[in-house]
Amino acid sequence: MTQQRNTVQRQIILDTLKKMRVHPTIDDLYADIHMGHPSISKSTVYRNLRQLAHKGAIRQVSLPDGLERYDGETNPHYHFKCTGCGHILDLDIRYLTGMNDKVQEEYGVQVDRHDIVFSGLCQKCQG
């Protein structure tokens, strides 16, 4: 089995994602990377994001808007999406691993993780 090498481009993509901390779409991330590294193509960003997510180095976040978003925080956690401004933030609440066990027991499936996204108005949009 061949091991994928950690390319300079992949490291730039990973570093940029972790620095952003805003759960960007591929387009958002590419725009940020392109400013400092115009030689990195959108297809390179896309391909490397997929590989990083597959390896568990980042998380792909599924949200109701249907756009793929990415998160540099890999520890299990929940998200909140503001329906006003679209801002997404990590929630610092206990991840309920017991839910995985309950679903496995009741439905006979294997659960690796679950994602929950809360939605509503952030503090800024409430004011």
Per run of 10 residues, the mean pLDDT along the chain (length 127 residues) is: 65 94 92 95 94 93 81 92 91 91 96 90 94
> Partners of 101 in the beta sheet?
none
Cα dist from 59 to 38, 104, 124, whole Å: 25, 22, 26
Q: What's the pLDDT score for residue 52? A: 95
Q: What's the pLDDT score for residue 1? A: 40
Residues 59 and 93 both lie in one domain: no
Among 29, 56, 74, where does a domain finish?
Answer: 74
Number of structural domains, the chain?
A: 2
Domain containing residue 88: 75-127
Q: Name the residue among 85, 55, 90 with its Cα closest to residue 71.
A: 90
How do the residues of the chain divide into helix, strand and coil, expressed in percent and rounded to 5?
40, 15, 40
CA–CA dist 76, 45 (Å, integer): 24
Q: What's the pLDDT score for residue 99? A: 94
Q: What's the pLDDT score for residue 19? A: 92
Q: What CATH number should be reported for the domain holding residue 126? A: 3.30.1490.190
Q: What's the pLDDT score for residue 66? A: 75
